[in-house]
Every structure is written in C-alpha cells, then in structure tokens.
C-alpha cells in the first residue's frame, strides 16, 4: 500500500512543480506568456508531460488558481488578525485590495479570466475560492452577530463587500480608471478610500 501512496505523493509533487512554474510565469511575465510549452520549458519537461498530470490547459489553470487562492488565504491569516471584528473586516478588505494591486496577473486568473471557469460544467462545483471567501464571510458574520453592521443577510453582505473590493481592483487592472483622469497615486488612494468609506457606511 505504501507504494501507491508514494506514487500519489510523487504525482502531487510533480503537479506542484508545474503549478509553481506556471504561477511564476503568470506573476512575472503576464498570463499571455503562460503557454503550456513555455511552462514545460521552465520546468525542463516536455509539453506532453504536462498532459500526464492535467487533462487540458483548463485543468492546469484550475490548480494554479487554487494555489493562488491559498496564497490569498495566507495573506488574510497574516494581515487580518485584529480581535475587533470591524477592524478585522477592514483588514481583510485592505489585504484583498492590496493583493490585487500587487499581483494583477494572478488576480486576473483568480477573479477575472474566463478560463478556467467557463469550461466548467454548471454542475461542477468551484471549490478554489471557498476558503478565501470563508475568511471574508466569517469576519462579516461576526460583525453581524454582534450587530455592528447594517446587514441582515450574510450572503448579501459578503457579496456586496466583495463586489466593492473587486470592482475597484478590477477597474484598475483593466485600466478603465483612465476615465477619471487621475494619476496612479491618486487612483490608488481613491481605491483605498472608497473601501474605507464603504465600510464606514456599513457601520451601525
């Protein structure tokens, strides 16, 4: 029995290697550079080898995405530590936004790109975001339980707060904030201020 376990472990290690390479390329060269061939080249395997571990590119991206999400959760764990629920919610939101602005290409894969979501069947469940979303929702729930914010519905609250954060980050990533005619500094400021404002509005 040890054998099959080891094999599985080996397989996981290889997958990890692939994903790490892919993430590195995403982060540093942009998602356009992350072709199967280039990923394979980076880990010094042949493209065909990738297909031993992943059915197709979408499945690979799905796993890369998972890795990205666990990175985000780490960030949450590290940066959102306050006891005060409201404070912690703010920390989470700021962490989220900072993460997005710091790693735009990865953020793209996590929250913007169609791949690998658009080739999932509707029935397929998307587990990658669960933990990270759980962090947010958990923090919000605490606020609600203690009557600190103006929301009755946890899902609605989570969705709204997420949407605000994502809206700001993604408009920036896709350069649509050009319409505001601000320089980069002002834009960054406005993003954080917008988040802060919103959370203050929510406070009872």
Name the site residues for DNA (rule: CB under 7 A). Answer: 7, 10-11, 14, 33, 35-38, 44-52, 56-58
Residue 145 binds what, of a second copy, DNA, none (CB under 5 to 8 Å, by partner type)? Answer: none
Q: Please calculate the CA angle 139-144-147 and round it to the nearest 5 degrees.
A: 130
Residue carrying structure tokens 């571990």: 53
Question: Could you say which of 7, 77, 78, 150 contacts a second copy (CB under 8 A)?
Answer: 150
CB of 12 to a second copy, least distance (A): 19
| Residue with smaller CB distance to DNA, 41 or 131 | 41
Instruction: Tell me if 46 contacts a second copy by CB under 8 A.
Output: no
Count residues near a second copy (CB under 8 A). 45
Tell me the window of 39-47, 72-80, 87-95, 165-173 that interacts with a second copy (CB under 8 A): 165-173
Distance CA 154, CA 201 (A): 17
CB of 170 to a second copy, least distance (A): 6
Q: Look up residue 44 and give its DSSP letter.
A: T
Instruction: Tell me if 112 contacts a second copy by CB under 8 A.
Output: yes
Instruction: Tell me if 51 contacts a second copy by CB under 8 A.
Output: no
User: Dmax of the chain from CA atoms?
Assistant: 64
CB of 115 to DNA, least distance (A): 9
Alpha-carbon distance values, 48 to 36, 37, 44, 56, 65 (Å): 9, 9, 12, 11, 21
Question: Could you say which of 66, 73, 101, 117 contacts a second copy (CB under 8 A)?
Answer: 117
The encoded tokens of residue 94 equal 């700021």
Distance CA 110, CA 66 (A): 8
| Residue with smaller CB distance to DNA, 46 or 70 | 46
CB of 16 to DNA, least distance (A): 12
Residues 6+ apart with CB under 8 A from 136: 92, 96, 158, 161, 162
């Amino acid at each position: 029995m040890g054998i099959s376990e080891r094999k599985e472990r080996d397989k996981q290690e290889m997958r990890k290697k692939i994903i790490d390479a892919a993430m590195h390329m995403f982060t540093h060269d942009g998602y356009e550079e992350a072709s199967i061939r280039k990923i394979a080249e980076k880990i010094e395997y042949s493209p065909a080898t990738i297909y031993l571990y992943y059915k197709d590119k979408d499945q690979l991206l799905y796993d890369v995405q998972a890795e990205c999400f666990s990175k985000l959760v780490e960030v949450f764990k590290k940066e959102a530590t306050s006891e005060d629920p409201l404070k912690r919610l703010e920390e989470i939101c700021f962490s989220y936004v900072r993460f997005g602005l710091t790693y735009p290409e990865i953020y793209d894969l996590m929250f913007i790109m169609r791949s690998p979501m658009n080739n999932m069947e509707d029935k397929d469940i998307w587990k990658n975001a669960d933990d990270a979303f759980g962090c947010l929702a958990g923090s919000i729930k605490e606020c609600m339980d203690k009557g600190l914010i103006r929301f009755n519905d946890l899902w609605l609250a989570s969705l709204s707060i997420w949407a605000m954060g994502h809206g700001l980050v993604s408009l920036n990533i896709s350069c649509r904030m050009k319409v505001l005619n601000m320089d980069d500094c002002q834009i960054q400021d406005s993003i954080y201020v917008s988040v802060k404002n919103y959370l203050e509005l929510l406070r009872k």
